[in-house]
Structure 1
Amino acid sequence: MALRVLVGVKRVIDYAVKIRVKPDNMGVVTEGVKHSMNPFDEIAVEEAVRLREKKLVKEIIAVSCGPKQSQETLRTALAMGVDRGIHVEVSGAEYEGLAPFHVSKIIAKLAQEEDVNLVILGKQAIDDDCNQTGQMTAALLDWPQATFASEVKVEDSKMEVTREVDGGLETIQVSLPAVLTADLRLNEPRYATLPNIMKAKKKPIAKKTPSDLGVDVSPRVETVRVEDPPVRDAGQKVENVEELVSKLKEAGFC
């Protein structure tokens, strides 16, 4: 069974950047800040490309929802081996209020339009840490879901997935079409080579809007205030176990 795969890629502030809260406490500073592809989405792209290298996939389509700069993220995916991209442009107040439910509806609609039989997403984005888009996309499509994947095997119309759970590892089998979300240990994404970066410039990126897909992305949540996490109190050194137990009792921990 040759698969057609849709992969979601999100543009986020680079993981190495120190996040700063805006002076008005209504968000974080994004202007002049380095952005990159969400690391879990890189893993999702890599898994799609590896499945194609095993001759299990015939086409990989990447989709990104966001402002025009999201095309840079799509070009990165194309340089890694994706065949073509779809940019669903969302900007301004709508982008500020874009929630996982909106993105799920967009991805589900595109999955139907593109007639794909596998959707691969990162398990979560590092900016909001919601971990919701994959699950809601599966619900909207009424497809099986395999989340937190650390190993994937595809055979005929079935997919065996080893997933990371609190108690260790769980292996499940789902029927295709399905939604898969990638965990950290699924693979190590490749670096895009210079020839592939040059080829990516010629690969097509279609432009759409949420209204083209019949999706209303009006904000459902209002941000009241954004603050830095509280500063942790300095630690204390103790001379022995008895003193440690005494201080824990004073703090109400035992």
Structure 2
Amino acid sequence: MKVLVAVKRVIDYNVKVRVKADNTDVDLTNVKMAMNPFDEIAVEEAVRLKESGVATEVVAVSMGGKECQEQIRTALALGADRGILVETDEKLGSLSVAKLLKALVDEEKPDLVILGKQAIDSDNNQTGQMLAALAGLPQGTFASEVSVADGKVAVTREVDGGLQTISLSLPAVLTVDLRLNEPRYASLPNIMKAKRKPLDTKTPADLGVTVESTVTTLKVEAPAERQAGIKVASVEELVEKLKNEAKVI
């Protein structure tokens, strides 16, 4: 069974995001980049499926500039077998990524496609669902538990009312949530081995996909600074401030 895992290059979650002075975009100058945390969970689940004998091959895919090779190599160090970089300088939206992934699904014929439920930079939570629709595949989103057997995958997913378990026929698309697993750290020997694992480079044109953006960013602003809290001497004073200053009651 082949598993395809998508990984995205994003600003490291420990880094404080800065906005450019002209408010056109986020400032990426000298900023530490990393693999999207939800995608780390997706890679870990794929590697666990391989270690348990369910999967035979794990393919890591990323899209963007040449620097995205770094995140693919990270996935290879975590246990993926080979990588594919779809290289483009275009700013990719969710639909463009889904179209590129659909082309790779047609080419690679994976039994399972695993993605993080969302990326921490755009927070769109769209790509997995769009891919499933384009490829005509069943989907299990927000997965907190995954079990593969007899040509089906059982997915326990987190919904507003609690937990829901569904059964999907393979091939299928999964998007994973935080509670699915705890990603491992890549060991130094595996990091060295990852440098020798195959990494193919393609372009959107190679896959027959046009990736022109249909979304225009008008302005990017940092959130307003939070004001410091205050202490009040009595309930009466609290009510007065909530009513007359905060105007919430």
Distance in 1, matches of 2:207 and 2:41, equals: 27
Shift, 1:161, TM fit: 1.1
Which of 33, 36, 44 in structure 1 is aligned with 2:34? 36
Residue 64 of structure 2 corresponds to which residue in structure 1? 66
Of all paired residues, the percent bearing the same amino acid is: 64
| Cα RMSD (Å) | 1.2
Matched, 1:180 2:165: no
Matched, 1:253 2:245: no
Q: Which runs of 5+ in 2 are unaligned?
A: none
Distance in 2, matches of 1:173 and 1:236, equals: 52
Matched, 1:151 2:149: no
Q: Which moved more, 1:163-172 or 1:51-60?
A: 163-172
Query: 3-state DSSP class of the match of 1:244?
Result: helix
Distance in 2, matches of 1:198 and 1:34, equals: 21
Which of 123, 128, 133 in structure 1 is aligned with 2:122? 128
Q: TM-score, normalised by structure 2?
A: 0.96
Matched, 1:5 2:3: yes
Q: CA offsets per residue over residues 19-40 of structure 1, 9 Å max, x none?
A: 1101111111112111111110
- Structure 2 counterparts to residues 46-85 of structure 1, below 5 A: 46-85=44-83
Shift, 1:4, TM fit: 0.8
Residue 87 of structure 1 corresponds to which residue in structure 2? 85
Structure 2 residue identity aligned to 1:194: L
Distance in 1, matches of 2:203 and 2:23, equals: 30
Distance in 1, matches of 2:227 and 2:111, equals: 51
Q: Which runs of 5+ in 1 are unaligned?
A: none
Distance in 1, matches of 2:51 and 2:141, equals: 22
Q: CA offsets per residue over residues 2-56 of structure 1, 9 Å max, x none?
A: x211100001111111111011111111121111111100000000000111111
Query: 3-state DSSP class of the match of 1:78?
Result: helix
Distance in 1, matches of 2:49 and 2:236, equals: 57
Distance in 1, matches of 2:35 and 2:182, equals: 14
Q: CA offsets per residue over residues 217-236 of structure 1, 9 Å max, x none?
A: 11111111111111223323
Which of 207, 215, 221 in structure 2 is aligned with 1:221? 215
How many matched pairs? 248
Shift, 1:248, TM fit: 2.8
Which of 12, 19, 25 in structure 1 is aligned with 2:17? 19
Residue 139 of structure 1 corresponds to which residue in structure 2? 133
Residue 236 of structure 1 corresponds to which residue in structure 2? 230
Query: 3-state DSSP class of the match of 2:158?
Result: strand
